[in-house]
Amino acid sequence: MTEGVEWAVHCCVVLSQAVEPVSAAQLAELHGVSKTYLAKHLQQLSRAGLVRSTRGRVGGYELTRAAAKVSLLDIVEAVDGPEPAFRCTEIRQRGPLATPPEKCLKPCGVARAMGAAEQAWRRSLASVSVDDLAGSVVRDNGAGTFDALRGWLAPG
C-alpha cells in the first residue's frame, strides 16, 4: 500500500468537516506536506469521483457525496487502484506435469484462497466510512477538534 493512501484519507476527513471548499494549499499546510505532493493524491480522489474542485470566490475541494457514503475502500482504490495484491501467474500450467489449459478454467485453490483473504480485507475497509473516521477523531480528541479546524479554515 502506498503512503498516499494515508494522506488521501486524512484529506477526506478534513473535507467532511469543512463548511466550504478547502484549497489544496490549505490541505497541504494543514498536513505539513508540499502542495505538489498532495496535488497528485487530490487528483486521484477527483478522478475516482470522491471529491470535486470548485472555482470562484471559495475555490477548493469538497466531497461529492455525504461522508457516510465514502468508504475507506473507495479511497484506497482511488489511490492504489482496484487491482488485487496477489496476482496468479498460473504456475500450475508450467513444467512437466502442467495442468492442461482446459482444466484451468477456474482459478486454482491458491488463487481462490488468496482472493478470499483480499475479499475479507475489502469488506472490512468498505465497512468504515469517512464519517466513521471523523467520529473516531472526536471520540479520541474531543468535540472541539473540528471546531478548531473550522476556525483555522475560515477565510479572513
Give the footprint of its own copies on this chain (CB under 8 A): 1, 3, 5-7, 9-10, 13, 29-33, 72, 85-89, 91-92, 94-99, 103, 106, 108-110, 112-114, 116-125, 128, 132-133, 135-137, 139-141, 148-149, 152
Give the nearer residue to its own copies in terms of CB position, either 1 or 19: 1
* Alpha carbon distance 118, 98 (integer Å): 27
- Write down the least CB distance from residue 88 to its own copies, Å: 7
Give the nearer residue to its own copies in terms of CB position, either 56 or 100: 100
CB burial of residue 50 (10 Å; 0-12, 13-18, 19+): buried
* Alpha carbon distance 22, 17 (integer Å): 10
- Write down the least CB distance from residue 43 to its own copies, Å: 19
Do the Cβ atoms of 77 and 4 come closer than 8 Å?
no
- Write down the least CB distance from residue 153 to its own copies, Å: 10
H or E stretch at 132: helix 130-141
* Alpha carbon distance 40, 53 (integer Å): 13
- Write down the least CB distance from residue 101 to its own copies, Å: 13
